[in-house]
A and B are shown apart, each in its own frame.
Chain A
Amino acid sequence: MEMKGMNVKIGALECKNPVLTASGTFGYGLEYQDFVDLERLGGFIVKGTTLHHREGNAYPRMAETPSGMLNAVGLQNKGVDHFIEHIYPQIKHLDTNIIVNVSGASIEDYVACAEKIDALDAIPAIELNISCPNVKQGGMAFGVTASGAESVVKAVRQAYHKTLIVKLSPNVTSITDIAKAVEYAGADSVSLINTLLGMAINAETQRPELSTITGGLSGPCVKPIALRMVWQTFNAVRIPIVGIGGIQSATDAIEFILAGATAVEIGTANFVDPNITMKIVDGIADYMQRHRIDNINTLRGALKV
């Protein structure tokens, strides 16, 4: 069933509904084809892509935590050229928004990678990752200061001509300062939050659970923090916000929209229920019907305070 009144706009990007998938949790979409009708998604964001091939971090890269998990994948990917030659031809025909998450170790790398993606007709947007906590130069260096964020977004903005979404780190003192800097530098949208820096220890072996000792926390345990940051950011910037953090039901998604998100990304929940995105699309339609809402956009930031 296709629903009316669910379409949203993120900058120039038109989405048939507000449900996207988070980078690193949905592969290149193909991994979920047996479970999900990809064309019923508002869009999906492919795995973090860098200018050059990256092997990522050593195993073990994952630890389960109460209501969530830590990961330390470290941006493993085969590089942007591999994406263009081997992945893009397999997904470009899909009638949904395919967004590439772009990461880098230097401004030059971000720009070079974004330029290559700019040339792909079927990719209408990028999500600039200035917030990966798992590699020394995974962009978090740029994402934790307003000036760092501004400099990388400014440079990419000059080189990239379609919708530019910037993914923010929660590992900062004031996310609104970063969001404002990113808006000022020309971003069309901000998405938040990336994972929270965390740690897990095995008391029996007295060793860390992750090869990198620390890693990024995600899942339902981070949702209250993400909601708070979306609300704060909504009250600080004018550009649309994509809410991310522990969403695993339509109710969770609605909460993010009420806090000010234009769209949402579903992340870790895809690991638990590979079909969760379809349930959330249907659940939002059901919520709109129950609350007699004709247009999802009227719900944005409509929190009654």
Chain B
Amino acid sequence: MQKKESDLLVVSNTELSKRACLITLESKDKLPRINAGQFAELLVPNCSGVYLRRPISIHAVNVQNNSIEFLVQLVGKGTNALANVKQGEIINTVFPLGNGFDVDNMPYRKPLLIGGGIGIAPLYQLGVDMVSKGIQPTFLFGTRTAQDIILKDKYNAVAPLFYTTEDGSFGTKGFVTDHQLMNSELGQFDALYVCGPTPMMKAVVSKAHQAGIDCYVSLEHKMACGLGACLCCVEIVDGTNTCVCKEGPVFKSDRLQWK
């Protein structure tokens, strides 16, 4: 898959909550093929103290108007600066990076897509692509509190959507692994796709292994190059240090050393 570096135009930047924004970037040229689960490296414009690009997963792709959506969690200086980028500005972007989800060769009929916090980001396009292939996904998202819930209608338009909140202010109280979909009703699903904080992903993987269900994780490691050159973002996969940026960020969970 051809990677490119180009100046993309900010067509919108919407604040979704105190901790998240949705940035839509438009390309003058026709977009290359982009798979759900791939990511891009965004150069933060005019931000002193931020040297490296920020790896952000691709939330949605619109091939009609050559635009890409990024769901950005505001975690530090770089992402906060991205939240302040205005419509009409330019963000230099390297994309598409990594291997996403292989929807074309997916043997599953009824997968559960599990997102923790901003970990929902790669699951939107995944859900859309699954539906277009006749696969029937279900979303299960966990947040700390009801205030953290974002883009509910957008996801709900794609597939059935369920929530857990840690404080019980919306949906089922607890973690995603406390939801009935992950317990008494888990047997209806033939695969799990998960993205979120590492402890949450590990808990989901553990449930999947116990139940004998295929499980895929999308990892979010600290990265520099995003191209497999610097070897900074490694995870032990198949017993050896492997670049998440190049060989991932999506891995089948049985390849990891997560027990």
Contacts and interface: CB of A to CB of B under 8 A. Distances in A.
Contact of A56 (B225, B231, B246): B231
B221 A59 contact: yes
A64 B53 contact: no
Count chain A CB atoms within 10 A of each CB in B223, B225, B229, B233 and give the residue with the most. Answer: B229
Contact of A62 (B50, B228, B230, B235): B230
A35 B95 CA distance: 11
Interface in A204-253: 219-220
Given A68-B51, A76-B241, A272-B51, A62 B224 contact: yes
A62 B229 contact: no
B232 interface: yes
B131 interface: no
B241 A56 contact: yes
Contact of B222 (A35, A56, A60, A220): A60
Interface stretch (B2-10, B14-22, B58-66, B157-165): B2-10
B71 interface: no
Given A69-B52, A271-B52, A55 B240 contact: yes
Nearest to A78: B240
A98 to B, nearest CB: 15
A211 B255 CA distance: 22
B228 A27 contact: yes
Contacts of B232: 60-62, 71, 73
A34 interface: yes
Interface in A267-285: 268, 270-275
Interface string A42-68: 000001000000011001111111111
A69 B50 CA distance: 10
Contacts of A76: 231, 234, 241
Nearest to A34: B3
Contacts of B235: 59
SS class, residues of chain A in contact with chain B:
loop
B191 interface: no
B51 A69 contact: yes
Interface in A166-211: none
B49 interface: yes
B228 A31 contact: yes
A66 B53 CA distance: 13
Interface in B210-238: 221-235
Interface residues of B, number: 29
Contacts of A270: 225, 229
B52 A272 contact: yes
B114 interface: no
Contact of B225 (A47, A67, A271, A275): A271
SS class, residues of chain B in contact with chain A:
loop
B51 A27 contact: no
A151 interface: no
Interface residues of A, number: 34
A32 interface: yes
B94 interface: yes
A61 B231 CA distance: 8
Contacts of B43: 272-273
A256 interface: no
Contacts of A60: 221-222, 232
A24 interface: yes
Contacts of B246: 31
A64 B5 contact: no
Count chain A CB atoms within 10 A of each CB in B2, B43, B222, B235 and give the residue with the most. Answer: B222
A66 B223 CA distance: 16
A69 B223 CA distance: 11
A7 interface: no
Contacts of B2: 34
B221 A27 contact: no
A76 B231 CA distance: 8
B3 A35 contact: yes
A71 B51 contact: no
B229 A34 contact: no
Interface of B: 2-5, 43, 49-53, 94, 221-235, 240-241, 246
Given A24-B231, A35-B4, A55-B240, 13 more contacts: A24-B229, A25-B225, A27-B229, A59-B221, A59-B235, A60-B221, A71-B232, A73-B230, A76-B241, A268-B224, A272-B43, A273-B43, A275-B5
- Which 9 A-B residue pairings sit nearest by Cβ, starting from the closest? A62-B232, A27-B229, A271-B225, A34-B3, A271-B224, A31-B229, A31-B227, A61-B232, A73-B231
